[in-house]
Amino acid sequence: MSLSARSRRLAAAAVAVSAVAGMCLTVPAQAQAASALNYVAMGDSYSAGSGVLPLDLSAPLECARSAVNYPHDLASRLGLDLTDVTCGGAKTQDYAGSQYPGVAPQLDALNDSTDLVTMTIGGNDSNTFIDAVLACGSAGVVTLGFGHPCQSIYGDSFDNTIDTTTYQSLDATLAAVKAKAPNARVAIVGYPWIVPAQAVPGCFAKMPIASGDIPYLRDLEAHLNAAVQRAAADNGVTYVDMSAVSNGHDACEPSGTRWIEPILFGTNYVPVHPNATGESAMANQIATTLGLG
C-alpha cells in the first residue's frame, strides 16, 4: 500500500471515529433537553418572591417578581423548563382574567404539554388576610401592644370570609388549572408562618401587633391554609404543607433565622413576605413533598 493511500485510509478512519464520538456527545444532551419537565409557576407575591432582589427583568414591573423566587430556585436545581407567570398581589380571579393591562391571565400559560404546576394563592382573595394584618397592626399601635383589640373588633369576620368566599374561589381555580393542564402534576403551597403561636419579647418593635392578637392572627393563617388544603384534596392536587418546617422562622425571629420579613426593620422592600431564605425553603419543601431531586 502506498503512503498516500494509507494516509487517505487513516484520515477516513479518523473522520469516522470523530463522527461516532460526536454522536456519543450530542445524543445524551438532546435526550436530556427532551426530558426536561415543562414547569409553569403561578400564584401571588409569595410565589413571585416580591420584595427579594434582584428583580426578574423579564416580568412586568407591577408583579415585583424576583429572579430568585422559589420557582426559579426549583427550576435551577432540578433542570426544569420554567414558565413563570407569578405576580405580586394576584388573586384567584387573576387566573382567568388579566391582573394588569397587558398582563395575560395566568391560565394562559397552561396547556396539554405542561408537566408540573406550582402556586401559592388565596391570601389576597377578598383582601381577607392582608386586611387582617393591617387591621391588627393599626389596632396594636393604638393599644401600645396590650390586649387583643383586633380580635375584639373583627371577631370571626375574617374566618367567615375564608369559609364563604375564599374556599369556593380556590376550589374553582384549582379545577380550572386541572382542566387547562390535564397531564400536569399540580401542587399548591401553604403559607409559611408569619407570626409565632404566642407573643414573644421584642416582637412588637418589628410587628406592631398587640400580644393578644398574635395567636388570633396565627389561628387565622391556619384557617386559611386549611381552606387551601381542603381545596387541594377536593381537586386531586398536592398540598405542600409549610406549617411544621416554618415553625420558628416567623417574622418575629432575628435576621438570619426568620423566613418572613417583618413590618418594620426588615430587609425586603415588601414587608411581611418571604426573604430569599424563605423562598429557598419553600422550594425545598416542594421538592421534598413531590419527591423531586
* Active-site choice (35, 45, 72, 255): 45
Residues 232 and 285 in one domain: yes
Residues 276 and 212 in one domain: yes
Q: What is the pLDDT of residue 8?
A: 45
Q: What is the pLDDT of residue 3?
A: 40
Is the pLDDT at 1 greater than 90? The verdict is no
Residues 114 and 98 in one domain: yes
pTM flag (> 0.85) = yes
pLDDT bucket at 177, cuts 50 / 70 / 90: very high
Residues 166 and 218 in one domain: yes
Assigned C-alpha cell, 63: 408583579
Task: Give how many domains the chain has, as a whole number.
Answer: 2
Residues 146 and 47 in one domain: yes
CATH number at residue 156: 3.40.50.1110
Residue with more model confidence, 285 or 32 = 285
Q: What is the pLDDT of residue 33?
A: 47
Residue 27 burial by Cβ neighbours in a 10 Å radius (0-12, 13-18, 19+): exposed
Residues 7 and 89 in one domain: no
Q: Average of pLDDT values for 22-51?
A: 74
Q: What is the pLDDT of residue 127?
A: 85
Residues 14 and 3 in one domain: yes
Residues 101 and 238 in one domain: yes
Residues 216 and 84 in one domain: yes
Residues 121 and 191 in one domain: yes
Q: Average of pLDDT values for 209-233?
A: 97
**Among 121-130, 173-182, 216-225, 228-237, which is the least confidently predicted range?**
121-130
Residue 14 lies in domain: 1-35
* Active-site choice (72, 148, 249, 273): 273
**Among 2-11, 107-116, 150-159, which is the least confidently predicted range?**
2-11
157 is catalytic: no
Q: Average of pLDDT values for 146-158?
A: 94
Is the pLDDT at 28 greater than 50? The verdict is no
What does the pLDDT look like over 73-84, one tens digit per residue? 999 999 999 999
Residues 19 and 101 in one domain: no
pLDDT bucket at 121, cuts 50 / 70 / 90: very high
138 is catalytic: no
pLDDT bucket at 25, cuts 50 / 70 / 90: very low
Residues 162 and 282 in one domain: yes
